[in-house]
Amino acid sequence: MGTLYLVATPIGNLADLTYRAVEVLRQVALIACEDTRVSRTLLTHYQIRTTCISYHTHNEAQAAEKLIALLMSGKDIALISDAGTPLISDPGALLVTRAAAAGITITAIPGACAAISALSVAALGDGSAYFAGFLPASGKERDAALRKLRAVPATLIIYESPHRIARTLADLLSTLGDRTALLARELTKRHETLYRDTLSALGAICEQQALKGEMVLVIAPAPAETISDETLIHTMLREALSRLPASKAAAEVASATGASKRDLYALALEIKDGQKS
């Protein structure tokens, strides 16, 4: 069997590709790219002539099946995204899951990651962090995701696009309160900019000027008193019960708040019994 390499690529500055990554990309039989047109710029820069195949959200099922067959036949394959570390808000989960189930060796070639880069310069919290990725665009899923973030006892990391950043900052301000945050724009690129301020002040900046480029929000943890608030915990548990069994709902809220899983499970059963009566 071959090996599946998960290769991190630069998030902006082409010089951030590691020596090991270049070597692997040159030696594998095939490179699975999120967008071959985007990856071609990087590969050409490093004179990497390995054959590429498209692997993205819309063809993931079919492409994964083909790649697994090649791996089983003994071919080594590298998976890369347009920028950063594969699977971090990028396609690849299906392929990696199937490869693991098939007993295929999976090796990470570490490198750039926008979430970690932003966290390292944010100077917020004690190092513990919760990566939320991209929030749902709208509807109940977005509301639920925002409520879940409210009591997470860690620094929050969120990805956002330029056309939605103002709205997201407003929603976060409404849900989390006016916490201290960092808005990192165009990390590692020529126009990299770091805005450090409160959520309300960052929202005002985005309302006044049209910021462009990829963005990462890093937000200070919830105050301890918020995490222990019984009303909030009840609200979080009820929301979790709307989509999960009692045991899993209790585990999710316990993880987010630090409350006792056993106590939350008992409370979840009480809530469900009350809904039946």
77-129 pLDDT, tens digit each: 999 999 999 999 988 999 999 999 999 999 999 999 999 999 999 999 887 89
> Based on the domain organization, do 41 and 97 belong to the same domain?
yes
Per-residue pLDDT, 226: 54
> Based on the domain organization, do 161 and 97 belong to the same domain?
no
Confidence of residue 263 (pLDDT cuts 50, 70, 90): confident
> Based on the domain organization, do 45 and 104 belong to the same domain?
yes
Across the range 32-59, mean pLDDT stands at 95
> Based on the domain organization, do 8 and 69 belong to the same domain?
yes
User: Tokens at residue 119, please?
Assistant: 């966290």
> Based on the domain organization, do 68 and 127 belong to the same domain?
no
Ranges 182-191, 223-232, 251-260: which has the least confidence: 223-232
> Based on the domain organization, do 214 and 242 belong to the same domain?
no
189 by Cβ neighbours in 10 Å (0-12 / 13-18 / 19+) ranks as middle
> Based on the domain organization, do 89 and 175 belong to the same domain?
no
CATH number at residue 31: 3.40.1010.10
Which of 130, 178, 124 shows the shortest CA–CA distance to 154? 130
pLDDT tens by residue, 208-217: 988 999 999 9
Instruction: Single out the residue in 221, 249, 267 at which a domain terminates.
Output: 221
User: Tokens at residue 93, please?
Assistant: 């989960």
> Based on the domain organization, do 44 and 57 belong to the same domain?
yes
Cα 193-194-196 angle, rounded to 5 deg: 150
> Based on the domain organization, do 84 and 104 belong to the same domain?
yes
Domain membership of residue 160 as a residue range: 115-221
**CA–CA separation, 151 vs 273, rounded Å?**
25
Per-residue pLDDT, 227: 58
Across the range 159-184, mean pLDDT stands at 93
**CA–CA separation, 265 vs 267, rounded Å?**
5
> Based on the domain organization, do 104 and 145 belong to the same domain?
no
Per-residue pLDDT, 6: 98
Per-residue pLDDT, 225: 56
Exposure of 174 in the CB half-sphere (CA atoms within 13 A): 9
Per-residue pLDDT, 3: 98
CATH number at residue 195: 3.30.950.10
Percent over 70 (pLDDT), the chain: 96
Confidence of residue 276 (pLDDT cuts 50, 70, 90): low
pLDDT tens by residue, 173-202: 988 889 999 999 999 999 999 999 999 999
Instruction: Single out the residue in 112, 134, 161 at which a domain terminates.
Output: 112
Instruction: Single out the residue in 58, 81, 112 at which a domain terminates.
Output: 112
Per-residue pLDDT, 242: 87
> Based on the domain organization, do 208 and 237 belong to the same domain?
no
**CA–CA separation, 160 vs 168, rounded Å?**
8
Per-residue pLDDT, 86: 95
The answer for residues whose C-beta is within 8 angstroms of residue 212's C-beta and 6 or more apart is 162, 185, 186
Confidence of residue 151 (pLDDT cuts 50, 70, 90): confident
> Based on the domain organization, do 119 and 205 belong to the same domain?
yes
Q: The pTM is what?
A: 0.78
pLDDT tens by residue, 95-106: 999 999 999 999
The answer for residues whose C-beta is within 8 angstroms of residue 6's C-beta and 6 or more apart is 78, 79, 85, 86, 87, 92, 96, 106, 107, 108, 109
How many domains does the chain contain in total? 3
The answer for residues whose C-beta is within 8 angstroms of residue 56's C-beta and 6 or more apart is 34, 35, 63, 91
Confidence of residue 156 (pLDDT cuts 50, 70, 90): very high
